[in-house]
Chain A
């Protein structure tokens, strides 16, 4: 069995033709993942027992002649900020190093109901805060395409596992680019659905007005299938939307003729040649397929980084208050009083980036600064959302880069937080507006590093986004002929 080349359709065909059982596939996938994992540190821990129990259920369904579901026997990796009953969930933090949640996130419950087999939990920046996966308390992840480089963040482990072939698909979370940027760095497909499309019940909160759960896959079709499984209203998340979920895969026929695409002027201005050229060649391919391409303007883009890092850190400073050493956080052994215990637990437990963001968020919300920073940022957020609403009246989709540069070297940016934050410029705008956006492989740099094209569409119109990504994939080759095989 060639685990790294599996697709959802391939697994299903093999299972139903009885070429392998779900238990055989799961055992082999676990063996392969455990053997390969030390190269990248993509998985933090494996959920072997739960995976094999789920595989046995799938085999029983097949034996009884029942439909085992759209993800039957498919090996899935889950980012470790998404809670899993009975399976340790650390959020990449020392504070939760031993935490075993008493319930499942809705997205995990849904993918298992569809037959998916969770192999384990993937590494990430602590509490999903970072753009390089270097902020994990359990060591960085290496990019399987080039082991001296970062996989991107914060969902670096999920992106690396899919690129490396140790999972067929994965769940990640995205607050300002944490799915799309690692997908682009690792040469896989990563999707941030519309805000509210996927229930966040069981997603550890970072910035609640911006947090999303979304899929990683090697093919657009697999990403579309996984989103179809996890999307839709959930009574346990009052922010999940009731909008009907279409069959995303039914529309992937390669026909994108007549679709109007916008290329934002502001995104091209500072783009480096190494990532800019592959993107423009990809846009040219879409034009040749019959898309109409025009330049558009998103004038508030210049304010996006400041706006995002005020809103996201303000919300984070509040959400991370719960890690106090009382209920489930590892408690500091120092401190005579309750107040000392809080301070020591948090001071000893949080890593440098979490502290920086808690401090920034607390500062912008503190007396005297609220109006100048937080309220101003919320108004600028409205301007950014309005830019997209206006542009998406003129065009059906926006095509753009994901990141100003390809995967950088481990350690290269870790000491310069402003430079690290600036690298999120092209992804945070879509997050602030809450529109669906994804990264799809679109060629590589001269050095052979993957480049992702970002596609953004109207609220709840993931279908058009998938159609465009699929058409690009059909003309360029899946994963652009697997850059990652050289890794």
Chain B
């Protein structure tokens, strides 16, 4: 077994996902199968190989910089248009700290 139900709950906590007990059981089995396949990577000889984080092209270091010209921002009203809860020009959320 590659992963336990406890580990699944721990990872769900890191990912801010509320899971039902049924989902935990299902995900444990799914992740177990997937991680087993992932072991395949251990067969690859990567000695001396630099990790590739991005598709890099031969371009100068500043090639992707744009000119520093101010442009109008999105605007408060457009940004708040879909806020589930808003007030005084801000996004409102449930309480963070107990007083």
Contact = CB atoms under 8 A, between A and B. Distances in A.
A378 B37 contact: no
B33 A418 contact: yes
Interface stretch (A121-129, A289-297, A327-335, A443-451): A327-335
A99 interface: yes
Interface stretch (A16-24, A357-365, A477-485): A357-365
Nearest to A241: B57
A227 interface: no
Contacts of B88: none
A235 B19 CA distance: 41
Interface stretch (A43-51, A136-144, A346-354, A396-404): A346-354
B44 A343 contact: no
Contact of A376 (B41, B79, B95): B41
Given A305-B37, A306-B38, A360-B34, A355 B54 contact: no
Contacts of B1: none
Interface in B14-49: 14-19, 23, 26-27, 30-31, 33-35, 37-44, 46, 49
Nearest to A380: B44
Contact of A98 (B43, B78, B82): B82
B74 A102 contact: yes
Contacts, number: 165
Contact of B27 (A337, A355, A382): A355
Interface residues of B, number: 55
Contact of A338 (B37, B66, B93): B93
Given A359-B17, A434-B55, A302 B40 contact: yes
Contacts of A303: 40-41, 43-44
Interface in B55-85: 55, 57, 59, 63-67, 74, 78-79, 81-85
B40 A306 contact: yes
Contacts of B11: 359, 362-363, 366
A379 B53 CA distance: 9
Contacts of B44: 300, 303, 376, 379-380, 383
A335 B85 CA distance: 14
Q: Contact residue range for chain A?
A: 35 or more
Given A102-B78, A331-B84, A379 B46 contact: yes
A327 B82 contact: yes
Contacts of A109: none
B94 interface: yes
Interface string A369-399: 0000101111111110100000000000000
Contact of B59 (A242, A352, A360): A242
B66 A360 contact: no
B6 interface: no
A366 B33 CA distance: 19
A459 B58 CA distance: 11
A139 B64 CA distance: 40
Most chain A C-beta atoms within 10 Å of own C-beta, residue among B31, B38, B59, B93: B38
A41 to B, nearest CB: 25
A376 B46 contact: yes
A378 B52 CA distance: 5
Given A327-B83, A337-B94, A346 B64 contact: no
Contact of B30 (A327, A358, A417): A417
Interface in A299-354: 300, 302-303, 305-307, 309-310, 317, 321, 324-331, 335-344, 346-348, 350, 352
B34 A418 contact: yes
Secondary structure class of chain A's binding surface, majority of residues: helix
A328 B54 CA distance: 29
Nearest to A307: B41
Contact of A325 (B42, B51, B84): B84
Which residue, of B27, B30, B35, has the highest number of chain A Cβ atoms within 10 A?
B30
Given A306-B41, A307-B41, A378 B19 contact: no
A235 B67 CA distance: 9
A409 to B, nearest CB: 21
Given A328-B83, A418-B34, A358 B52 contact: no
B73 to A, nearest CB: 11
Contact of B3 (A331, A358, A363, A380): A363
A307 B50 CA distance: 15
Given A359-B11, A379-B51, A459 B94 contact: no
8 contacts: A242-B63, A303-B44, A305-B37, A309-B34, A346-B16, A355-B19, A373-B38, A417-B33
Interface of A: 98-100, 102-103, 195-196, 209, 235, 238-242, 300, 302-303, 305-307, 309-310, 317, 321, 324-331, 335-344, 346-348, 350, 352, 355-356, 358-360, 362-364, 366, 373, 375-383, 385, 417-418, 421, 433-434, 459
9 smallest beta-carbon distances between A and B, as pairs: A347-B18, A434-B55, A378-B51, A331-B84, A379-B46, A328-B82, A235-B66, A382-B52, A343-B18
